[in-house]
Structure 1
Amino acid sequence: MTAQTLGVEEEFHLVDPATGALAASSTVADAAVLGQAGPHVQPEISTTQLETATGVCTTLAEVRAALQETRGEAVKAAQSDGLTVLAASTHPSSAVGDLVLTDAPRYRVMVERWAGLATGQDICGTHVHVGVDDLDTAVHVMDRARPWLPLLLAMTGSSPFHQAADTGYESWRTVWWSRWPVSGPPDQLGDAAGYRDVVRQLVASGMVPDGSQLYWDLRPSTHVPTVEFRGADVCTDLDDVVLHAALCRSLVAVLARDTAPAPQIRPEVLRAARWKAARAGLTGELFDPATTELVPAGTAVRSLLTVVRDDLDERGDLDEVTALTEQLLARGTSAARQRRTMHRTGDAGAVVRDLLEVGGTAV
């Protein structure tokens, strides 16, 4: 099996384009709930957020074009109330008190179940769906992709600030999201039956109503035949989204064909590797699944490229993905850029303006 299809979901903050401040808009949120904000625009739990979802793509060129289209739709939806969208996982100066719940049954149910976890959800992420043949294949891939999830996270950090403070992390979103009891890397499941049994037990415990509310960093989709990578921050630069999607797809393709036993990595070790990736991003050392040791970030990233190299080459994507990888390693993540801008200007507004320019959402 070779995974061919791709789809990308991105979540954005709504901001005032003049001041850069986080902005709630019931007008935009209600339009999204009613399906009137654009064919690829969806609501999110807060009226300060929007989500977009591309259609099914088969090439990286299609992914790039689809992302340009969906980001454009999100900007147009936000402009209906004088706003625009910010491609970053946290806002540099917002406060949780700024959040207003989107008026939709789905979100009221979430607040009833999760209480303060849901009402304080001021973070945004990127989700990549990769097509698979069936649930057994999805679980086979998940069990083998677990060790690579921290590295994929480290390449996407865009949330160094929270509540107007520098958190010291490249992905504070990961730390914030870790409070949810159904988040983080999944444990090994074995096969489709093992996955169904875990879902059954979690439903019986009252934790979730079904598998759609398992917020793991990697999970089978419950509505389309895909495995869904959910651990990434929002990539400000479109190049980084394309890179992330390409790596996810080739990793799925390679691991789906892997007949070796799944790597035996303790969940405690994997959580530690995830924390390390959220803390340092590409600025320090990362856990290398190939050696089970800490190595320089660039070494870990190139190790992943080695794993997926043949698949990328078969698709004709190797040169583009290699160039995008080296570009990212040279300039750093969005989080690193945000921190440099803040240190240079001391102005959260300047950070937002720079993000809008890089993300192509400035108006």
Structure 2
Amino acid sequence: MTLATFAPSAPLTLGVELELQIIERDTRDLSPRAIQLLDLLAAQPFPGEAKPEMTQSMIEVSTDVHRSVGSLHAQLCEIRDTLVSAANTLGVRLAGGGTHPFQLWQERRIYPGERYEALANRYGYLARQFTVFGQHIHVGVESADDAMYLTHALARYVPHFIALAASSPYCQGADTGFSSSRLNSVFAFPLSGHAPPVLEWERFEHEFYEPMRAAGIVASMKDFYWDIRPKPEYGTVELRVCDTPLDVDHAAALAAYLQALALRLLTDRRDPPQERDYLCYTFNRFEACRFGFDGEYVNPRTLTRKSLREDILETLAALVDDARALECADALAQLERFAQGETLADWLRGQMHDPLPSHTLVDAATARFLT
């Protein structure tokens, strides 16, 4: 399949996708009830879109396209309330967080469907191990070249979003020592990582995408599991590194941060992306996954080091005018306060009042999703 024509969209518009955990009330383990939950949601008005994910203990919900973070947040609240009502009818709960703390991948069931079954056949146990939960944020751009430019310009901020969303300290019944262990599952896929350092859409199509398509490696942009990727059918750039936050307020604030960064980067192009920007990319990404705000950030241009917390706070302070123009100053102020404290992973560790499998931890996560 040739690369889809890039469909321009209104610049800086936003959309959010959230992958959510379906939880059994009694055991607090994951529940394979996605089919029943989706059937129930399809039988009533739903303020967004709900669809399956790789395994039957997951559900993905997405918003409409929004011009403001305020309207995005309002729809996320409506989606949450509708989901919670449907889950109560089924006798299950819902939660955010990048991983479930003690579920076992061996017990997961692939969702019935041609794409999911093909992925399971191709990737083996990685498909069931991919029962992890992320937030994807889309921001609209006017042209394909803008999409490529923004994809690479945003790469410098990938560690920010990892740390700000990190909520997967536990995996398979153990404390991983990571703030975001979820991304270790993503990195296992052969087409993960970052986009090739090409700024022009036409060059990307002819020098990278078409050869990979001709070799039978990819059939569409869906086959790339990059941290950030253009989505030509939507006219957006999609950021994919965030764990699903524990509440929708935080999910909206992360979208506001992306919107403000996109405004700044697309407006001021005096310092365009360079191939050198990826020199420390993997190291910086690891530091954010492992240590959250306490990780180090190495500037690839100057090779100077600072804490990730410091870099986030400096960036938020520099976006004051952009946030004001986009009417999302309150959301960025919320993130600023958050970045001065503990990560969501730290909060989850603080809920561990008994050993894994911890009912108190899961109860705390499901309760926070309601707020």
CA contact (8 A) 1:286 1:296 kept: yes
Q: What code does the residue aligned with 1:223 have? A: E
Are residues 36 and 173 of structure 1, via their aligned partners in 2, closer, same or farther at CA, if it must alter by over 3 Å? farther
Report the Cα distance in structure 1 between the residues aligned to 2:242 and 2:217, rounded to whole angstroms. 24
Give the C-alpha shift of residue 206 in structure 1.
2.5
Partner in structure 1 of residue 250 of structure 2: 240
Any residues of structure 2 matched to 1:294-313 within 5 Å, and which? 294-313=305-324
Q: What code does the residue aligned with 1:20 have? A: R
Q: What code does the residue aligned with 1:212 have? A: K
Report the Cα distance in structure 2 between the residues aligned to 1:215 and 1:254, rounded to whole angstroms. 26
Any residues of structure 2 matched to 1:129-278 within 5 Å, and which? 129-197=138-206, 198-260=208-270, 261-265=272-276, 267-278=278-289
Are residues 35 and 267 of structure 1, via their aligned partners in 2, closer, same or farther at CA, if it must alter by over 3 Å? farther
Report the Cα distance in structure 2 between the residues aligned to 1:136 and 1:205, rounded to whole angstroms. 25
- Work out the percentage of aligned pairs sharing the same amino acid: 26
Which consecutive residues of structure 1, in runs of 5 or more, have no partner in the other structure?
none
Q: Render the CA deviation track for 1:181-238: whole Å, top value 9, x for unaligned.
A: 1112323122111321322222223222111221111111132111111111111132
CA contact (8 A) 1:138 1:220 kept: yes
SS at match of 1:265: helix
Any residues of structure 2 matched to 1:29-48 within 5 Å, and which? 31=39, 35-36=42-43, 38=46, 39-48=48-57
Counterpart pick for 2:91 among 77, 82, 85: 82
CA contact (8 A) 2:34 2:58 kept: no
Partner in structure 2 of residue 282 of structure 1: 293
Partner in structure 1 of residue 14 of structure 2: 6
Give the C-alpha shift of residue 345 in structure 1.
3.3
Partner in structure 2 of residue 345 of structure 1: 354
Report the Cα distance in structure 1 between the residues aligned to 2:22 and 2:280, rounded to whole angstroms. 36
Give the C-alpha shift of residue 103 in structure 1.
0.9
CA contact (8 A) 1:89 1:158 kept: yes
Which consecutive residues of structure 2, in runs of 5 or more, have no partner in the other structure?
1-8
Give the C-alpha shift of residue 99 in structure 1.
0.6
1:67 equivalenced with 2:115 (yes/no): no
Counterpart pick for 1:316 among 327, 334, 353: 327
TM-score, length of structure 2 as denominator length: 0.89
SS at match of 2:264: helix
CA contact (8 A) 1:14 1:24 kept: yes
Report the Cα distance in structure 1 between the residues aligned to 2:287 and 2:294, rounded to whole angstroms. 11
Any residues of structure 2 matched to 1:82-101 within 5 Å, and which? 82-101=91-110
Report the Cα distance in structure 2 between the residues aligned to 1:289 and 1:244, rounded to whole angstroms. 24
CA contact (8 A) 1:29 1:102 kept: no
TM-score, length of structure 1 as denominator length: 0.91
Q: Render the CA deviation track for 1:332-353: whole Å, top value 9, x for unaligned.
A: 22211111222x4335211111
Are residues 24 and 305 of structure 1, via their aligned partners in 2, closer, same or farther at CA, if it must alter by over 3 Å? same
CA contact (8 A) 1:151 1:287 kept: no
SS at match of 1:232: strand
Give the C-alpha shift of residue 112 in structure 1.
2.8
Bigger mean CA deviation after superposition, 133-142 or 205-214: 205-214
1:354 equivalenced with 2:364 (yes/no): yes
Report the Cα distance in structure 2 between the residues aligned to 1:229 and 1:357, rounded to whole angstroms. 27
CA contact (8 A) 1:12 1:51 kept: yes
SS at match of 2:280: helix
Q: What code does the residue aligned with 1:313 have? A: R
Report the Cα distance in structure 2 between the residues aligned to 1:316 and 1:122, rounded to whole angstroms. 36
Q: What code does the residue aligned with 2:288 have? A: A
Report the Cα distance in structure 2 between the residues aligned to 1:253 and 1:336, rounded to whole angstroms. 31
Question: Cα RMSD (Å) of the superposition?
Answer: 2.3
Q: Render the CA deviation track for 1:268-298: whole Å, top value 9, x for unaligned.
A: 5201111111001113433456854331232
Aligned length, in residue pairs = 358
Report the Cα distance in structure 2 between the residues aligned to 1:346 and 1:113, rounded to whole angstroms. 36
Report the Cα distance in structure 1 between the residues aligned to 2:333 and 2:285, rounded to whole angstroms. 25
Report the Cα distance in structure 2 between the residues aligned to 1:352 and 1:291, rounded to whole angstroms. 43
